[in-house]
Amino acid sequence: MLKLPQIYAENINRWLPELLWFALTTLKIALAAFVLAVLVGLAFALLRTSRFAVLRVLATAYIEIARGLPIVVLLYIVYFVPPQLFPGLNWQWFTGFTGAVVGLGLHGGAILAEVFRAGIEALHKGQREAAMSLGMTPTQSMAYIILPQATRIVLPPVANYAIGLLKDTSLCSLIGVNEIMNDAKSIAFADYQPMAVFVLVAAIYFVMSYPLSLAVRVLERRLNVSR
């Protein structure tokens, strides 16, 4: 019978600091990928609502492909394909970490593009026209009328995406990025304690993601009340 408490008592001093150190890498990947996803998402939401059909088709194609691919497959494509297609270029800088951020960011960009588009389309055109007819400049109407309302619609799904992203960073271990999951594998197999180590890692992920999901729930309730 596996005595987890005893195993943890003996090993936690070695395991926990190391795992938490690599959890920092996980957080760094998540944060960088989140920023990239917001930028890519905004760009493609605008392209998707563009006046030019070509741009709309391109944006739709990107969104469908990036959302239709499993994240692991997208990570493999982003990390392994470009260096092979363009072997003449210098790929020294393209580390696993960069590949992970770009891959997750491109996937998130497609998800957020749809979220942002829904946010933009939910607002009636009249809002902006009313603001302008009251004498606001376009910038003012954006800052005081459009954005505050759009934020309210967009914030909960964006926060939910962020929680999913935090968990999805675990997939970066599969392209060899040294984050918490990869480190857990090496500890688990070196110490012959897979159950204890992976349960501990699950607990660490839970501690990182659960406060976020509680915050999202509070946020959703607040935004609903004030509407």
Partner 1 sequence: MTFWQFLHAKGWYLLSTLIGGWPQTAIVALGSLVFALIFGLAVALLRLSPWRVLSWLAVAYIEFFRGTPALVQLFVIYFGMPDIGLSPTPLEAAIVGLGLNGAAYLAEIYRAGIESIHRGQLEAALSLGMTPLKAMQHIVLPQALRTMLPPITSFAIVLLKDTAIVFSVGVVEIMALARNLVTETLHSAAVYLIAGTIYLCMTIPMARLAARLERQRQAWH
Contacting residues toward partner 1, per CB under 8 A: 1-2, 64-65, 67-74, 76-77, 80-81, 84-85, 167-168, 170-171, 173-174, 181, 184-185, 188, 193-196, 198-199, 201-202, 205-206, 209-210, 213
Write down the least CB distance from residue 2 to partner 1, Å: 5
Contact 131, 141 (CB under 8 A): yes
Q: Which tokens sit at 25?
A: 């890498």
Closest to partner 1 by CB, 158 or 200: 200
In this structure, what are the phi and psi dihedrals at residue 134, rounded to the nearest 5 degrees?
-80, 0
Write down the least CB distance from residue 195 to partner 1, Å: 3
| Interacting residues of 179 by C-beta distance below 8 A, sequence separation 6+ | 22, 23, 25, 26, 29, 169, 170, 172, 173
Closest to partner 1 by CB, 69 or 155: 69
Closest to partner 1 by CB, 47 or 63: 63
Angle at 55 between CA 46 and CA 125, to 5 degrees: 40
Write down the least CB distance from residue 134 to partner 1, Å: 34
Q: Left if phi > 0, otherwise alpha if psi is -120 to 50, otherwise beta: which for 135?
A: left
Residue pointed to by tokens 């960011």: 105
Give the dihedral of Cα atoms 112, 116, 118, 120; nearest 10 deg.
Answer: -170
Closest to partner 1 by CB, 9 or 143: 9
Write down the least CB distance from residue 138 to partner 1, Å: 33
Closest to partner 1 by CB, 148 or 194: 194
Write down the least CB distance from residue 68 to partner 1, Å: 4
